[in-house]
Amino acid sequence: MKNHMQIPLSLYVHIPFCAQKCPYCDFNSAKISFDEQVYVAALLDDLRRDVEIFALNGRKIQSIFFGGGTPSLFSVRAICEILQGIGKIIDIASDCEITLEANPNSSEVAKFSAYRQAGINRISIGVQSFSNENLKVLGRIHSSNDAKNAILAAEKAGFSCINTDLMFALPNQNSDLALTDLKTAADFAIEHISWYQLTIEEGTAFFAAPPANLPDEDAIADIFAAGREFLTAQGFEQYEISAWTRNKKCRHNHNYWQFGDYLGIGAGAHGKISQAQEIVRTEKFASVKKYLARSGKNPNPYAAAVKKVEKDAQVFEFMLNALRLKDGVPRQFLTERTDLALEDIDGLIQDLIARGLLANDNDFYRTTEFGFNQLNIILEEFIPS
């Protein structure tokens, strides 16, 4: 790494509390009671310790992302307290992107304007579908009208970027039904759509009891092709596997994919920090009880693990993120953000170029159009032997 101080730094704030756990969700979230103030105090103490341990003074936070769980369950007062507390611990860039994930329930939507006034400038609304039938299957507790009203409320509140999460490959879904969701979203003043496939993950309720009539691989391919054609025609650019935008890329996630640095605070949060001589990954206790009890033996007691990323693993981690981006990343990032040199992987890169999987580009690591649909094959080549 040439200068780790120049690597962009983001902050992820995990709020794991939910009104109801969705059957497809494998995130660290649960329907549990919580003391808002106790958790806020722990978040800020967690951040303070990480900043001290990793000597981050002098670096600015470029983006903040409140994820969960359901961060919009927290009061405006709590979000204000967290943002103000962050600013007292570490510098925040004047143009910092600050995102809050929210569900389209009326009690949460009512706080949108106040969240905007508190400093949130990007909101991500967990719509998933505009079909009441699909919402019921997915275990969501909002309706189609709730979702539409939430988007209108976000527009009225003046958010500079509105994202909607939408899912496809849902039970009984075909291309026409999937396009209905996309068309409904595109009719609003939405700058960003996260459109991702329903997958059945181990440990979820759907894994134990999968929903019936899921589309097969051919139907899923048809759905995606139809959706891609529609979104492109509507002025949306696919810049990442599941991300589409009208010139409003999510800066926070973009930093992940470009192998930037990020702090992760809160129960179950993960972080990646570059130091002068190493890259480390942090993992906070997933259990809220253990997190609040500060159960760890690491310098930061909120951390369940702090691990160095060894050099032979860095190329896989770098490419795992970078090649998700359709435009890839500058080749110089490999030397600036890892301990690797270009020649360390040049032979493998040339082989992948010859196979038509990577673009023959002297400045960027990026896939070809064919390679973008073969990412798993490409990434297997970078797994340490």
Same domain for 369 and 238? no
Biggest CA–CA distance in the chain, Å, is 57
Q: Give the mean model confidence (pLDDT) for residues 138-153.
A: 95
Residue holding tokens 């206790």?
A: 285
Same domain for 137 and 230? yes
Q: Which pLDDT belongs to residue 32? A: 74
Residue type, 208: A
Residue 82 counted as domain residue = yes
Beta strands in 73-149 (DSSP E): 92-102, 122-128
Residue 334 counted as domain residue = yes
Residue 108 counted as domain residue = yes
Residue 295 counted as domain residue = no
Over 90: is that where the pLDDT of 284 sits? yes
Of the three residues 220, 255, 290, the one that is the final residue of a domain is 255
Residue 351 counted as domain residue = yes
Same domain for 229 and 344? no
Strands 261-265, 9-15: pairing kind: parallel
Of the three residues 233, 255, 277, the one that is the final residue of a domain is 255
- Would you state the structure tokens that stand for residue 181, as one six-digit string? 């969701």
Q: How far apart are CA 239 and CA 274, in angstroms?
A: 25
Same domain for 234 and 99? yes
Q: Which residues pair with 281 in a beta bridge?
A: 272, 307
Of the three residues 238, 255, 272, the one that is the final residue of a domain is 255
Over 80: is that where the pLDDT of 106 sits? no
Same domain for 119 and 238? yes
Q: How far apart are CA 150 and CA 152, in angstroms?
A: 5
Same domain for 10 and 148? yes
Which tops the pLDDT comparison, 128 or 29? 128
381: which DSSP letter? Answer: T
Kindly report, residue by residue over 274-283, the tens digit of the pLDDT: 998 899 999 9
Same domain for 338 and 241? no
Q: Is 223 exposed, middle or buried (0-12, 13-18, 19+ CB in 10 A)?
A: buried
Per DSSP, the three-state class of 142 is coil
Q: How many residues does the chain have?
A: 385
Over 80: is that where the pLDDT of 1 sits? no
Residue 286 counted as domain residue = no
Q: Which pLDDT belongs to residue 181? A: 97
Q: Give the mean model confidence (pLDDT) for residues 23-30.
A: 84
Q: Give the mean model confidence (pLDDT) for residues 36-43.
A: 97
User: By C-alpha distance, which of 100, 12, 94 is closest to 60?
Assistant: 94
Question: How sure is the predictor about 4, in pLDDT bands with cuts at 50, 70 and 90?
Answer: confident
Same domain for 357 and 214? no
Over 90: is that where the pLDDT of 374 sits? yes
Question: How sure is the predictor about 20, in pLDDT bands with cuts at 50, 70 and 90?
Answer: confident
Q: Is 225 exposed, middle or buried (0-12, 13-18, 19+ CB in 10 A)?
A: exposed
Q: How far apart are CA 79 and CA 275, in angstroms?
A: 30
Q: Which run of H or E residues covers position 378?
A: helix 375-380
Q: Can you spell out the DSSP letters for 166-207? A: EEES-TT--HHHHHHHHHHHHTS--SEEEEEE----TTSHHH
From the CB of residue 297, how many other CB atoms can be counted at a distance below 10 Å? 7
Same domain for 344 and 200? no
Same domain for 347 and 251? no
Q: Which pLDDT belongs to residue 293? A: 97
Q: Which pLDDT belongs to residue 33? A: 78
Q: Which pLDDT belongs to residue 105? A: 87
Domain residue limits at 167: 4-255
CATH code assigned at 119: 3.20.20.70
Cβ–Cβ < 8 Å for 250, 191: no
Q: How many domains does the chain have?
A: 2
Same domain for 23 and 155? yes
Q: Give the mean model confidence (pLDDT) for residues 329-344.
A: 96
Show the CA angle centred on residue 162, arms to residues 160 and 168, nearest 5°.
160
Q: Which pLDDT belongs to residue 5? A: 83
Residue 273 counted as domain residue = no
7: which DSSP letter? Answer: S
Same domain for 164 and 35? yes
Over 80: is that where the pLDDT of 377 sits? yes
Residue 26 counted as domain residue = yes
